[in-house]
Structure 1
């Protein structure tokens, strides 16, 4: 289900990392000087990008593939809009994440401070401020995994960056159950003007309770 599959981001929130053991916390990872230097470069490069637009491919644990478009504006604003026939979209307007169904005209919210991806939405990105529990490295990619202890359990997000450009290429969210949801970005443009209306929610939409 589309709605259920995206909740990994909303609820609580390349190199492959071990699957998360349910409810298992992990200590922060000690970093080498080289790893710390790379993360500092990633922080600086991405902090300089104020807007991003592009397309995404979402793949869940069952292999279901769904595509859509995304819009990001720092600080704190992001929109994921799924391709038809879906009417769902996920939007953050700086004070929380909302799951919106444009057909049913409903919306429900989650606090932004409980979503691991929030570190990438700050005006000044500082991945060191998150709980870094794993780092992966290959010839072309460098990954940083952040972990949050949320009301629903332990949630992880693995951010994968291009080693040369320092651009974000992919992230994988892991639910407390161990289920994963991966987003790959492509056709990305940066520092483009985004219509203000995209980061908004129709005030006539009914608030509903988030699904379990």
Structure 2
């Protein structure tokens, strides 16, 4: 799927883990009173923004709860687990029993109720920018940085890899904690994940981010 990203899935198999709120879409690119905006992708990010990104990059493991808002206003939630670099897991609440797991190489979207399993390269999704060893704001990935007293917003993209998809991360400028992120897909549709009750520096079981590639192949072969 050319330029397909995780943002193009919602909780109906093909649209599960897009990540965005309406206010974080096209309006987020406009200058808003009280913000300092870095619009040029070639410009250097403000030092304060890089400090926030470095702090978040230094968080090697974290877990907590999340609420996800889809492009049509649909809302889901559950628990998440993150281990840098490249690993994340979302356990969705509800009867569908959705799971999304990245093992650092691939991302699998699993619907146990419908017995479907979709596999994608992590390197082809904007989620990779969130999970990198270090979030580097010095290159042309930076689309914009907006700063105000209670929020710092950093938008990243890599057109050569993700097409027109983008990821927008929002941080508390005082504690440097990540509050939420939004992924905008190639069609301009946003889905946001807001996180809370977060714990850092936790230990996970060895299989927390494991993907059963054999089971994925078997499920997909039955659907052909």
Using structure 1 for the length normalisation, give the TM-score.
0.81
| Aligned counterpart, 1:36 | 46
| Structure 1 unmatched runs, 5+ | 10-14
RMSD: 2.7
| Structure 2 unmatched runs, 5+ | 1-9, 30-38
Residue 147 of structure 1: how far off its partner (Å)? 1.7
- Return the alpha-carbon distance in structure 2 between the equivalents of residues 130 and 103 of structure 1: 42
Equivalent pair of 2:129/2:156 in contact (CA under 8 Å): no
- Return the alpha-carbon distance in structure 2 between the equivalents of residues 149 and 54 of structure 1: 31
- Return the alpha-carbon distance in structure 2 between the equivalents of residues 5 and 68 of structure 1: 16
- Return the alpha-carbon distance in structure 2 between the equivalents of residues 138 and 152 of structure 1: 28
| Aligned counterpart, 1:56 | 66
- Return the alpha-carbon distance in structure 2 between the equivalents of residues 44 and 27 of structure 1: 21
| Aligned counterpart, 2:182 | 172
Residue 104 of structure 1: how far off its partner (Å)? 4.1
| Aligned counterpart, 1:12 | none
Equivalent pair of 1:20/1:174 in contact (CA under 8 Å): no
Q: Deviations over 1:146-200 (max 9, x none)?
A: 1232678410111101111111111111111111101101010000111121211
Using structure 2 for the length normalisation, give the TM-score.
0.77
- Return the alpha-carbon distance in structure 2 between the equivalents of residues 37 and 151 of structure 1: 26
Q: Please say which of residues 138-147 and 100-109 is displaced more in the overlay.
A: 100-109
Residue 86 of structure 1: how far off its partner (Å)? 2.2
- Return the alpha-carbon distance in structure 2 between the equivalents of residues 148 and 179 of structure 1: 17
Query: In structure 2, do the counterparts of structure 1 residues 127 and 88 end up closer, same or farther at CA, with 3 Å as the change threshold?
Result: farther
The number of aligned residues is 197
Give the secondary structure class of the aligned counterpart of 2:165. Answer: strand
Give the secondary structure class of the aligned counterpart of 1:72. Answer: strand
| Aligned counterpart, 1:186 | 196
| Aligned counterpart, 1:109 | 119
Equivalent pair of 2:24/2:190 in contact (CA under 8 Å): no
